[in-house]
Amino acid sequence: MNKYVLILLIIPILFLTGFKHKEKPYIILSSGTITEENIKYYERIFYTGQRINYAVVAPDYFKEDSVRIQLSTQNDKTSNWGYEIIETNDIFIDKAQKIYRNYIVPRKKGHYILQFFYIDNKRYPFAHVEFMVQ
């Protein structure tokens, strides 16, 4: 009898705590200002010389305060598996914030990749987005 009661108590606890989905950080791109109202809408096609505003949203706050931002492009003419790094910046983000905003201005047409890495783990990005510039 005690086993059945224990099982009936454990099953709801597992469903309420064990299967919670953790949200990952993500990047929003926009040609206009990113606000709380339009943060759920995103764009993926832009034009050369256009200012592209981006916001990195970390639902559970940022894990570290040192972040590397990397902008790269993909084409067939480079020797690094088709990827060419355009720009890399190391920045500090307040760990108490959930959103970091900034902008980029691509000067050439192509397929771009914007990635964010923690400085302690530069091998795997914690957030990335791909977009086109025409």
- Summarised one tens digit per residue, pLDDT across range 109-128 is 999 999 999 998 889 999 99
Rounded CA-CA distance 132/134 in Å is: 6
Rg, Å, the chain Cα set: 20
In 3D space, the residue among 96, 13, 26 whose CA is nearest the CA of residue 54 turns out to be 26
Determine how β-strand 45-46 pairs with β-strand 66-74.
Answer: unpaired
Domain architecture of the chain: domains with CATH = 21-133 (2.60.40.1930)
Rounded CA-CA distance 44/131 in Å is: 5
Predicted pLDDT of residue 47: 95
pLDDT of 86 over the 70 cut: yes
